[in-house]
Amino acid sequence: MRPEDLGNFETAWCPGCGNFSILDALKDALVKLDIDMHKTVFVSGIGQAAKEPQYLNCNFFNGLHGRAIPAAAGIKLANKDLHVIVTSGDGDIYGEGGNHFIHAIRRNIDITVIVHDNQIYGLTKGQASPTSDLGFVTKVQPHGVINEPVHPLAMAIALGAGFVARSFSGDKAHLSSMIQQAVVFKGFSLVDVLQPCVTFNKKNNFAWYKQRIQPLPQDYDAHNKTLAFEMALRWGDAIPVGVIYRDGRPAYEDACGLMTEKSILSQGPDPSKLTRILQEFF
């Protein structure tokens, strides 16, 4: 597959938006993975980030705000032969869809969730998001945010996610690598992508992130859960990026015993079994 096969669409994003580089990195990852796009479904919710699948030649399910993850889970459980990639924003996944995020991790269905995390609501014009920093001032939070921000990576690790990574929209090569590893990973994988919002988030801008992001140490052990948890909570002057945590527990599809070989869709229904079942009612 060539990058141009993925299409070149006019977007509804602001000039200079981090979404452009995230889309570029995603395309790069898809090309490098040489993924079969016909066997891939992109799922998103609502928000500027959630428009990403609109700008790819692909199968997509652009669902409701906050509900990308359950739709993705349904798609994967029906047809495990599909790669299912969720791409949505921090408000969508961690806010409106928070409960689904929690339980999708527990289920460990083999889907990849890429969160465009710009710490703000863009499409609704600049309210605090679940990841907005303390004290962050908006029109709705004029005295600054007083809610403790969500720590998505720490939360994911605590819930038993098997692949937890962070990247930055300003480092395309790094982001592409994170996405590639996440897609290949068997089980729930999370890539939280730090991203500036040029229109509404004047605090956490490109330079702010650029100064703070730090690659993980050379000898970092991503299998050490305690260390990973500590790393996931780091925020402020230094923000680590990379694969923070990696674990190998069986994906739902392997654990449930219903689709060990063939997908539910390709097994098809077997109503002939009913004749036997009905006898049990006499």
Partner 1 sequence: MFKVDLTIKIAGEAGQGLQAIGGLLSRLFARKGYHVFANQVVQSRVRGGHNWFAIRIADRPVHSPSFKTDILVALDAESSCHSRELDKDSIVIFDSRQAAFPAGTGRMLDVPMAELASKAGGNKLMVNTVAASLVLGLLNFDSGEFFAFLAQSFGKKDKETGETNVKVARAGYDFARKLTPAVKTTDVSRPAGKPKMLVGGSEAVALGALAAGCQFISAYPMSPSTGIMTYLASQADLCHIVVEQSEDEVASINMAVGASFAGVRAMTASSGGGFALMVEGLSLAGMVETPIVVILAQRPAPATGLPTRTAQEDLLFAIHAGHGEFPRVVMAPADIEGCFYATARAFNLADKYRIPVIILTDQLLADSFVTIDALHPEKIRIQRYLMAEGELEQAKDYKSFLLTPSGVSPRALPGNPYCFVTADSDEHDEYGRITEDLDEMRPRMVEKRNRKTKGLLRELKGPSWYGSRNAKEVLVGWGSTYGALKEAVDALQAGGVNVALAHFEDLWPMDKRHFEFLKKVRLAVVAENNFTGQLANLITRVTGVAMDRRISKYDGLPFTAQEVVDAYKDLRKKGGRR
CA gap 41, 110 in Å, rounded: 13
- Among 39-47, 121-129, 217-225, 237-245, which window interacts with partner 1 (CB under 8 A)? 39-47
Greatest Cα pair distance, the chain, in angstroms, is: 73
Nearest residue to 112 (alpha-carbon basis) of 27, 36, 194, 181: 181
Of residues 252 through 281, those in contact with partner 1 by CB under 8 A are 256-258, 264-265, 267-271, 273-275, 277-278, 281
CB 164 within 8 A of CB 188: no
Task: Note whether 116 binds partner 1 by CB under 8 A.
Answer: no
Q: Tell me if 46 contacts partner 1 by CB under 8 A.
A: yes
Residue in 20, 24, 62, 137 binding partner 1, rule: CB under 8 A = 62
The least distance separating partner 1 from the CB of residue 278, rounded to whole angstroms, comes to 6
* Binding pattern for the stretch 136-175 against partner 1, x by CB under 8 A and - elsewhere: ----------------------------------------
Residue 174: helix, strand or coil by DSSP? helix
Q: Among the candidate windows 77-85, 147-155, 160-168, 199-207, which touches partner 1 by CB under 8 A?
A: 77-85
Q: Which residues are CB-neighbours of 241 under 8 A, at least 6 positions away?
A: 165, 166, 167, 168, 171, 174, 194, 213, 214, 215, 216
Alpha carbon distance 95, 126 (integer Å): 15
Q: What is the distance between the alpha carbons of residues 174 and 241, in angstroms, rounded to a whole number?
A: 9
Q: Does 61 contact partner 1 by CB under 8 A?
A: yes
Nearest approach in angstroms of CB 102 to partner 1 is: 7
Among 2, 15, 34, 38, binds partner 1 (CB under 8 A): 38
Give the H/E segment covering residue 23. Answer: helix 18-33
Distance CA 199, CA 11 (A): 16
Residue 100 is a binding residue for partner 1 (CB under 8 A): yes
Cα separation, 179 vs 181, whole angstroms = 5
What is the separation of C-alpha 73 from the centre of its chain, rounded to a whole number of angstroms?
13
Q: How far is the CB of 66 from partner 1 (least distance, A)?
A: 8
Q: Which of residues 172-191 bind partner 1 (CB under 8 A)?
A: none
List interacting residues with partner 1 (CB under 8 A): 12, 37-39, 41, 43, 46, 51, 54, 57-64, 67, 70-79, 81-82, 99-100, 102-103, 256-258, 264-265, 267-271, 273-275, 277-278, 281-282
